[in-house]
Every structure is written in structure tokens, then in C-alpha cells.
């Protein structure tokens, strides 16, 4: 499922220090183990130590829920854009689902999209721009790599009208071994509740046009489609006061 292989220490490209406090108020939720898992899956707040795991999940779900490993020469680029900053942004809600094999899913969101985009411009993108210059891409870079590097240098700004009406936004990705067990609804309910507690009145998200399963999932959760482009649909939902 996507609405958006790391190794070594390459994921920590922005400064990670005591200024970045994650939301630790979300209690863990466990689910009985199922065949193929060595331990029970557990929903808990993300920490900086989860960055390799969430980057891996992001890559392995990066083609509208399918594995994008063969699409990118640099396995970290998707994570740099779609999940890394959400783990470090001070006001984010970042949740992971982990089992005996490691992180198998995440759901991340921010209550104030405009504030998040300002923070990224100030704290997240500058280091990445130094590491990934547009003018001198590596010889092995794929077209997908180059597209994400361009996005790092010229990130899109969310439509002001959409942000005014639906200020929060989120991303969720689950590996296949978690799907069909109710984890998607469980983690979404938890994240939406936390966004509401942080003062968000409504939330928006984008879904790839070629991901009909995700369209149906969000509609079951009460989201309404409000826009459709060539590659993406926009869904929104009000949050409880």
C-alpha cells in the first residue's frame, strides 16, 4: 500500500539531535503472531533508529504498493522524500508496525502542512541538495532517481486552498505481510486521532491513480475524493474536534 534498501548510515542526512523530539505519547498495540512472523506485530511510535527500516518499507512499496527496488539506483531517495522528514519533524506523528523480521509498515503525518514544508526547506532539504546535485548526477542514476533529485531541489508546495481547508496530511505504507489483517485501519485510526489531538481539523492525502486498492481503502475510512489529475487523486476527511 502506498499513498507517497537502506543500509549503513546513509539515511541520516539531516542533522539529528536533541531538537527533534518524536511523539512518544502513543501506546504500543500488539497483534497475535501469524504464520511467517517470528513474533507478534507491534504498533509503536517511530524513533530515529527506525530510519533504515522505514526507508526499506518505502522502497519496497514505492510503485503504488509494489516493490520499487529495481527502479532506483539509489535506494534511499524515496525515503528521503516520503518518510525521513516525517520521522524527524518535531510536531509529526510517526508510527511504525514492527514484527520479528523488523519494521513492516509505517504511518506518518503532520498536523500543519505549511509549517512542515517550511521546516523541510530550512532543515531537511539543504543537506540533501548538497549530497545530490542536479548538475552532476551519478552515472548509474535512473530516470526515477533523477526525478526525485529534481523534487529535492524544487519541492512542490501544497495548494494554499487545500491546506487552509485540510491542514494535515499523511503517508502510510505496509508490506504485504501486514496486509489483510486490519493493520491499515488500526494504524490510520491511531494516527488520525493523534492529529486531531494536535489541533488539526481535517486531513488530505494523495493516492496514485493506478492504485485502486488504496482508493477503496480510503473511501472505507470516510475519505472523500476532491480532485483528480493524470497520476494522482486527492482525498480529504474532517477530523473530530
Which tens digit of pLDDT belongs to each residue from 185-210?
A: 999 999 999 999 999 999 999 998 98
57 Cβ partners below 8 Å, 6+ apart? 83, 103, 104, 105, 106, 173, 174, 175
Task: For the full predicted model, state whether its pTM sits above 0.85.
Answer: no
Residue 134 scores a pLDDT above 50: yes
Phi and psi dihedrals of 168, rounded to 5?
-85, 160
Q: State residue 3's pLDDT score.
A: 52
Percent of the chain at pLDDT > 90 equals 76
Task: Give DSSP secondary structure letters for 122-171.
Answer: IIIHHHHHHHS-SSS--TT--HHHHHHHHHHHSPPPPPHHHHHHS-EEEE
The answer to whether the Cα torsion of 116, 120, 122, 123 is positive or negative is positive
pLDDT tens string 31-73:
544 444 435 899 999 999 999 999 999 999 999 889 999 999 9
User: Which among 176, 177, 182, 180 is positioned nearest to 29, based on CA atoms?
Assistant: 182
For the sheet containing 168-174, what is the strand order?
29-31, 41-45, 93-99, 102-110, 168-174, 202-208, 232-238, 224-228
Mean of pLDDT over the chain: 86
Across the range 151-162, mean pLDDT stands at 96
For Cα atoms 80, 52, 10, give the angle at the middle one, nearest 5 degrees.
Answer: 60
**In the chain, what are the domains?**
29-201 (3.40.630.30)
Length of the chain: 241
User: Which among 72, 11, 28, 41 is positioned nearest to 174, based on CA atoms?
Assistant: 41
Binned at pLDDT 50, 70 and 90, residue 24 comes out as very low
Amino acid at each position: 500500500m502506498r499513498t507517497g534498501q537502506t543500509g549503513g548510515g546513509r539515511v541520516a542526512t539531516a542533522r539529528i539531535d536533541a531538537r527533534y523530539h518524536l511523539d512518544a505519547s502513543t501506546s504500543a498495540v500488539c497483534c497475535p503472531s501469524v504464520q511467517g512472523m517470528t513474533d507478534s506485530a507491534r504498533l509503536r511510535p517511530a524513533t530515529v533508529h527506525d530510519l533504515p527500516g522505514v526507508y526499506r518499507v518505502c522502497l519496497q512499496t514505492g510503485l503504488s504498493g509494489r516493490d520499487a527496488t529495481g527502479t532506483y539506483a539509489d535506494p534511499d531517495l524515496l525515503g528521503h522524500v516520503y518518510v525521513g522528514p516525517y520521522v524527524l519533524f518535531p510536531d509529526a506523528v510517526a508510527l511504525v508496525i514492527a514484527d520479528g523480521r523488523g519494521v513492516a509498515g509505517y504511518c506518518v503525518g503532520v498536523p500543519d502542512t505549511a509549517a512542515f514544508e517550511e521546516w523541510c526547506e530550512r532543515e531537511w532539504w539543504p543537506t540533501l541538495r548538497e549530497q545530490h546535485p542536479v548538475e552532476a548526477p551519478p552515472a548509474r542514476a535512473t530516470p526515477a532517481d533523477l526525478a526525485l533529485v529534481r523534487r529535492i531541489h524544487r519541492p512542490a508546495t501544497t495548494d494554499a486552498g487545500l491546506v487552509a481547508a485540510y491542514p494535515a496530511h499523511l503517508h502510510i505504507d505496509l508490506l504485504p505481510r501486514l496486509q489483510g489483517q486490519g493493520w491499515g485501519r488500526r494504524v490510520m485510526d491511531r494516527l488520525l486521532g493523534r492529529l486531531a489531538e494536535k489541533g488539526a481539523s481535517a486531513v488530505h492525502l494523495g493516492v496514485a491513480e493506478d492504485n485502486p486498492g488504496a482508493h477503496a481503502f480510503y473511501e472505507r475510512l470516510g475519505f472523500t475524493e476532491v480532485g483528480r489529475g493524470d497520476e494522482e487523486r486527492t482525498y480529504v476527511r474532517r477530523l473530530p474536534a
